[in-house]
Amino acid sequence: GIQVEQSPPDLILQEGANSTLRCNFSDSVNNLQWFHQNPWGQLINLFYIPSGTKQNGRLSATTVATERYSLLYISSSQTTDSGVYFCAVVHDMRFGAGTRLTVKP
Amino acid sequence: GAVVSQHPSWVICKSGTSVKIECRSLDFQATTMFWYRQFPKQSLMLMATSNEGSKATYEQGVEKDKFLINHASLTLSTLTVTSAHPEDSSFYICSARDLSGWVYEQYFGPGTRLTVT
């Protein structure tokens, strides 16, 4: 099956900083999602992004399917952005290991 | 947006008993639902794919006789952990796929935290 790798595994930011999270996948995919898991365990859909770029407020994502990676950008981070960010290849529902983000006030 | 509920949100049971977890799509029909388990500080692991009206498809290494899945309607799937043991303690999450727009986006329930004593 498809392998999904995320980096970095852990990220600590000061409030207001920007960050980029990366997701690499081992084979061509035609659907990819980014999720945020909050401290209570709830998974929140951020982006369904098989290709191209999408933006939602302070968050944006870009998937370059031909080069097998996707990026999640968080700008002007806030403490509420803390949690774990997962990317997943939707068709196989294979998740990456996640990036644990901590935003400090 | 699409909403998926799970019930209960947490449960404590004694070793040897069975526990049923419900997953419902509230505002859309889900021909396919998925069940995951997540151990602390780990990623989600797909356990099985549940299709309405047919038998679930289990991932390799998941005991189908222990984790019984039933998808009786387009809005409800259930996971029953039979003869639970402490090693079954975990966070169980379901998701549902809304195919009305022919998009494979998935929506997740809030999860059920199972503790077996």
Confidence class for position B103, pLDDT limits 50, 70, 90: low
- The residue ranges of DSSP E strands in chain B, in sequence order, are 4-7, 10-13, 19-25, 32-38, 44-51, 57-58, 67-73, 76-81, 90-97, 106-108, 112-116
Q: Which residues of B touch A88 (CB under 8 A)?
A: 44, 106
Host H or E run for residue A86: strand A83-89
- pLDDT, tens digit, 9 for 90 and up, residues B73-102: 889 999 999 999 999 999 999 999 876 656
Mean pLDDT of B56-84: 94
CA dihedral for A91, A67, A27, B109, sign (positive or negative): negative
Averaged pLDDT for residues B55-81: 93
Name the DSSP letter for residue B7: E
Given an 8 Å threshold on Cβ–Cβ distance, is A33 in contact with B105? yes
Distance CA B45, CA B43 (A): 6
Q: What is the pLDDT along chain A (105 residues), one digit of tens a residue?
A: 788 999 999 999 999 999 999 999 988 777 889 999 998 899 999 999 989 999 999 999 999 999 999 999 999 999 999 999 999 987 777 899 999 999 999
DSSP string for residues in A37-80: E-TT--EEEEEE-SSEEEEETTEEEEEEGGGTEEEEEE-S--GG
Q: What is the pLDDT of residue A36?
A: 96
Chain B interface, Cβ < 8 Å to A: 1, 34, 36, 38, 41-46, 49, 91, 93, 95, 103-108, 110-111, 113
For position A74, what pLDDT does the model report?
98
Q: A33: how many CB neighbours lie within 10 A of its CB? A: 24
Cβ atoms B40, B21 nearer than 8 A:
no
What pLDDT score does A90 carry?
Answer: 76
Structure tokens at A48: 């369904």
Helix (H) or strand (E) holding B108, with range, is: strand B106-108
The H-or-E segment that residue A99 falls in is strand A99-104
Q: What is the pLDDT of residue B54?
A: 85
H/E segment holding residue A2:
none
User: What is the SS3 assignment for B19?
Assistant: strand
Percent of chain B with pLDDT over 90: 72
Within the 12-71 window of chain A, which residues sit less than 8 Å (CB to CB) from chain B? 31, 33, 35, 40-45, 48
Q: Is the peptide bond before B8 cis (omega within 30 degrees of 0)?
A: yes
Taking an 8 Å cut-off on Cβ atoms, the answer to whether A41 and B111 are in contact is yes
